[in-house]
């Protein structure tokens, strides 16, 4: 009998693969029925003790938690001004773990309807999922997890948005069959009960917050409840859990940007978790949180210094709408006349003169995009965000 204080590892059960596809030639083998494969049975963890965790792991998690809280408190309401940038940075980093990358310019432009990159479009959708995750943080449920996935996947028509899967999913082999896969997630019939159990674990208050975030994420990835988008939804759920436990109150801390520094280690930690060894994923989230704080401090400093430099480079009367646009650019570095006017609460024609003045001062650049009209952008802020991504390990492309 296993130690009741140790974290349980996954069990497995045999299933028979029945393919609904029909292949010919070299793929004909995948039409064979009767292929046997082992699907995981994740343990239920709602009442699982964490007393068997290594003391140093718990101390590291506590250190990272205090650093996250301290960062939030030090900057106070100021950090809330950077919430849109940090949210998009977290979304981009989470997507990069799935090999989806795009420049900051492409991502912010995609949110305004300018789609030049499928990756940017998908990252923009991930940002909406992150927003939904934070909005739903007060009371996390199976329904709120479905909502996160629905928002994430709404722009495609292949995978059912906001629905538990009704078919096998697997990792580490060809797309035709789970036979020989590195990991086959639990049978779809088990998914609703496992997610309900996960939600009960998430609602516990007797577990250190960051430890809980890491374990919730790893258990969610073991369940793999959707046909696609599990990783991005799981990291959105991590943001929701951070907010739910009160670690982050003003912003979505880009923890995924910290995970990017060691993607192989992150994936190995998820494998270790499935083998009943949870320390690695807790350590990964703790280290990622500390990296995220350091990286975010630098980003906030760079953008704040940029804003101060604009005061020296741009001159206008105090009542000019240009000053409000400068504040907007710190967190929304790509705008249209309509979005700028909406933010300022004025009619659209009133923002054209200040936008023109900012272009003439070299603060903004403008480009007429086919069918969508003029877009204005701050290359300086976009470059600061791309530098943040580079420090995190994300390779950017347009």
H or E, element range at 170: strand 170-171
Q: What separation in angstroms does the CA of 339 have from each of 195, 324, 347, 351, 379?
A: 39, 13, 11, 10, 18
Among residues 283, 289, 252, the alpha carbon closest in space to that of 80 is found at: 252
Say if residue 230 carries a ligand binding annotation: yes
Say if residue 228 carries a ligand binding annotation: yes
Catalytic residue among 224, 267, 343, 370: 224
Say if residue 166 carries a ligand binding annotation: no
Burial class (CB in 10 A: 0-12, 13-18, 19+), 92: buried
Say if residue 72 carries a ligand binding annotation: no
287 SS3 class: helix
Measured between alpha carbons, how far is 286 from 295 in angstroms, rounded to an integer?
A: 14
Q: How many CA atoms lie within 13 A of 50 on its CB side?
A: 21
Instruction: Compute CA 162 distance to the chain's CA centroid, rounded to the nearest angstrom.
Output: 17
Active site residue 315: no
Say if residue 387 carries a ligand binding annotation: no
Measured between alpha carbons, how far is 26 from 21 in angstroms, rounded to an integer?
A: 14
Exposure pattern of 226-265 as b/e (b: 16+ CB <10 Å)?
bbbbbbbbbbbbbbbbbbbbebbebbbbbbbbbbbbbeeb
**Strands of the 373-377 sheet, one edge to the other:** 334-335, 373-377, 365-369
335 SS3 class: strand
**Structure token digits, residue 129:** 């999922």
Q: Is 365 left (phi over 0), alpha (psi -120 to 50) or beta?
A: beta
Among residues 292, 230, 268, 225, the alpha carbon closest in space to that of 90 is found at: 292
Say if residue 235 carries a ligand binding annotation: yes
Among residues 203, 197, 246, the alpha carbon closest in space to that of 222 is found at: 197
Tell me which residues are annotated as active site.
Answer: 224
Q: Which residues are annotated as a binding site?
A: 228-235
Which residues are known binding-site members for ATP?
A: 228-235
């Amino acid at each position: 009998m296993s130690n009741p204080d140790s974290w349980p590892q996954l069990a497995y059960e045999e299933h028979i693969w029945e393919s609904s596809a029909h292949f010919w030639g070299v793929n004909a083998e995948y039409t064979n029925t009767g292929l046997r494969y082992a699907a995981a049975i994740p343990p239920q963890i709602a009442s699982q003790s964490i007393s068997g965790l290594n003391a140093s792991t718990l101390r590291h998690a506590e250190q990272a938690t205090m650093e996250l809280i301290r960062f939030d408190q030090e900057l106070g309401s100021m950090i809330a001004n950077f919430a849109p940038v940090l949210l998009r940075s977290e979304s981009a980093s989470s997507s990069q773990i799935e090999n989806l990358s795009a420049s900051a310019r492409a991502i912010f432009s995609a949110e305004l309807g300018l789609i030049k990159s499928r990756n940017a479009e998908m990252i923009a959708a991930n940002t909406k999922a992150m927003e939904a995750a934070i909005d739903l943080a007060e009371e996390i449920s199976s329904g709120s997890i479905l909502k996160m996935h629905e928002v994430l996947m709404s722009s495609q028509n292949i995978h059912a948005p906001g629905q538990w899967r009704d078919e096998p999913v697997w990792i580490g082999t060809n797309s035709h069959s789970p036979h020989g896969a590195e990991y086959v997630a639990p049978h779809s019939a088990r998914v609703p009960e496992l997610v309900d159990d996960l939600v009960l674990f998430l609602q516990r208050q007797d577990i250190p917050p960051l430890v809980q975030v890491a374990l919730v994420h790893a258990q969610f990835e073991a369940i793999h409840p959707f046909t696609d988008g599990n990783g991005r939804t799981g990291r959105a759920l991590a943001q929701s859990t951070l907010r739910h436990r009160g670690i982050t109150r003003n912003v979505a801390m880009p923890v995924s940007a910290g995970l990017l520094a060691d993607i192989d280690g992150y994936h190995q930690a998820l494998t270790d978790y499935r083998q009943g060894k949870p320390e690695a994923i807790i350590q990964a989230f703790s280290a990622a949180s500390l990296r995220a704080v350091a990286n975010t401090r630098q980003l906030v400093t760079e953008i704040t210094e940029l804003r101060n430099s604009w005061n020296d480079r741009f001159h206008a009367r105090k009542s000019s709408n240009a000053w409000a646009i400068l504040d907007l650019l710190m967190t929304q570095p790509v705008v249209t006349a309509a979005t700028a006017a909406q933010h300022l609460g004025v009619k659209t024609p009133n923002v054209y003169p200040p936008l023109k003045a900012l272009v003439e001062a070299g603060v903004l650049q403008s480009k007429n995009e086919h069918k969508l009209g003029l877009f204005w952008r701050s290359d300086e802020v976009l470059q600061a965000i791309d530098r943040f991504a580079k420090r995190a390990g994300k390779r950017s492309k347009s």
